[in-house]
Amino acid sequence: MATSVAETTAFGMTPTVVPQVRTKFRRIQTPLPVPDSLPVLEALSAYEARSMHGQLPVVWDRAKDFQVWDRFGNCWIDFTSTIFVANVGHANPAVTQAIEDALKQGLVHSYTFATEIRARYLRQLIHATPRECEKAFLVSSGTEATECAVKLIRLHGRAAGKRRGGVVSFEGSMHGRTMLAQMLGGTPAARAWIGYDDPNVHRLPFPCPWEVQDGAERFAQDLAHLAAQGVDAEQDLAGFILEPYLGWGAIFFPSAYVQALAQFTRQHHILLVFDEIQAGFGRTGRWFAYQHYGVEADLVCCGKGMSSSLPLAGVLGKASLLDLPEAGSMSSTHSANPLSCAAGLATLQQMEALDLVQASQRKGERLLAGLHEIQRRFPAHVLRVCGKGLLAALHLADPATGLPDTATASRVCERAMQKGLLVVHTGRESIKIGPPLTISDEALAEGVEVLAEALQEIIG
């Protein structure tokens, strides 16, 4: 039997009259959800897999820079960038123009046949990214990129004569939703459908900075734990894959942990891969988030902000690694689509022209200062503020028990929506924030204030 909208969401589906809002950046002038938008939500609920649902009940019609509109006259400040995609702003004019030009040229698909736009894009991509990124392989989703990185890890391990192709990853990380990608991270419950564990995937508990005093020592303990399970680093481990921060809560590793890990990989012919699908392209105030740790990557997985729009993802890294698979043995029908490459090229050009990495760092300082101020106002409820650049999360706790407070986080997300602000609903105790890097200082400040008001109204 088909599920109803109400069964798939944490949010109220009965239109509620909310106070009207009219500022320079926000407008709320209808009940929410908008009564006339319910047929769209119901159609999606009837015809689409319910796994796609559970978002804030807003039917998006148009998005420009850091604002999102529906068809009913409401307008939100966007603190989501859809889901960390629109780094150079929604419908950035340079990006949409590049897509239009590519469409006019009349080539909308090319498989792996050579195209000029792919060559131009790749040249610029390799030029713009850190020096260890010498070549790239383009795909259409982040999950494909992480799957491909593991393939390269294992091919490299075989070529190096390793006994096994062990991959080490971290519990709670996000690397995608296909079988191997999901095996690398998430939670035991989320992985249960797989039904077995790959004996060559070793998940370590994430070293939360507030639980770890000495990062290097903690890494040594994790290695000892692997050794106790019979894993010989030199012979059995081919690679580590790290999301540079735990996505749901913007929680970064202790730097000393990653530095010790990087040094260890160098000593044992093990590849170091960073999954920058969410973190990359300036999101955290550096080109890639792993640069905060002062280490180099062997492979980097990218996606999301890469095009700020159309599907585009990829693996970047040393030429010797990218060239491991034989010609024809690593490709994908929709990879390197000409329109996506055009969007990717325009995105790179906009990042440079608008100096968005620097902007992310500067605006991020303001964002985090604002969030720490919220924590000072609500110390019993806001346990923690995490993040770097324009990536942040508030962690909520129940003041009575000190336990994570998922229900309140959902209610604050909903209230923020009713006030004209979209934040990322994680389904956990965190409220996540990631506005387009182009957001104005004024809109950023207004959004933070709206979040404070939403918290006040829900917990006050």
Q: Which is nearer to ligand PLP, 142 or 389 (CB)?
A: 142
DSSP 397: B
- Is-contact 206 251, C-beta < 8 A? yes
Question: In this chain, which of 33, 57, 166, 176 binds ligand PLP, going by CB under 6 A?
Answer: 176
Contact (CB, 8 A) for 8 and 53: yes
Among 147, 222, 243, 405, binds ligand PLP (CB under 6 A): 243
Provide the terminal-to-terminal Cα distance of the chain, rounded to the nearest Å: 40
Q: Is residue 147 a contact point for ligand PLP (CB under 6 A)? A: no
Among 275, 298, 414, 446, binds ligand PLP (CB under 6 A): 275
Cα–Cα distance, 244 to 18 (Å, whole number): 39
Residues 121/349, Cβ–Cβ less than 8 Å: no
Backbone φ and ψ of 438, nearest 5°: -90, 0
Residue 178: CB minimum distance to ligand PLP, A: 8
**Percentages of the chain per state (helix, strand, coil), in multiples of 5:** 45, 15, 40
Task: Pick the binder of ligand PLP from 175, 318, 419, 425 (CB under 6 A).
Answer: 175
HSE-CB of 274 using CA atoms within 13 angstroms: 29
Q: Please, are residues 440 and 446 in contact by the beta-carbon 8 Å criterion? A: no
Residue showing the smallest CB distance to ligand PLP in the complex: 142
Strand partners, 431: 394, 425
- Within 13 Å of residue 179, how many CA atoms lie on the same side as its CB? 6
Q: What is the CA radius of gyration of the chain?
A: 22
Examine residue 277 and tell whether it contacts ligand PLP (CB under 6 A): yes
Q: Which stretch binds ligand PLP (CB under 6 A): 57-65, 102-110, 256-264, 272-280?
A: 272-280
Q: Which is nearer to ligand PLP, 174 or 330 (CB)?
A: 174
Stretch that binds ligand PLP, among 171-179, 233-241, 375-383, 425-433 (CB under 6 A): 171-179
Query: Is 143 among the residues that bind ligand PLP (CB under 6 A)?
Result: yes
User: Should residue 278 be labelled a site residue for ligand PLP when binding is judged by CB under 6 A?
Assistant: yes
Contact at 8 Å (CB) between 375 and 399? no
* 303 sits near ligand PLP (criterion: CB under 6 A): yes
Phi, psi (5° rounding) for residue 208? -60, 135
- Contact between 142 and ligand PLP per CB under 6 A: yes
Q: How far apart, in whole angstroms, are the C-alpha atoms of residue 273 and residue 258?
A: 12
Given candidates 68, 136, 150, 174, which one binds ligand PLP under the rule CB under 6 A? 174
Stretch near ligand PLP under the rule CB under 6 A, chosen from 22-30, 173-181, 191-199, 207-215: 173-181
Rule CB under 6 A: which of 431-460 touch ligand PLP?
A: none
Site string for ligand PLP, 313-342 (x = CB under 6 A): x-----------------------------
User: Which residue among 82, 146, 350, 410 contacts ligand PLP (CB under 6 A)?
Assistant: 146
Residues at the site binding ligand PLP, with contacts judged by CB under 6 A: 141-143, 146, 174-176, 243, 247, 275, 277-278, 303, 313
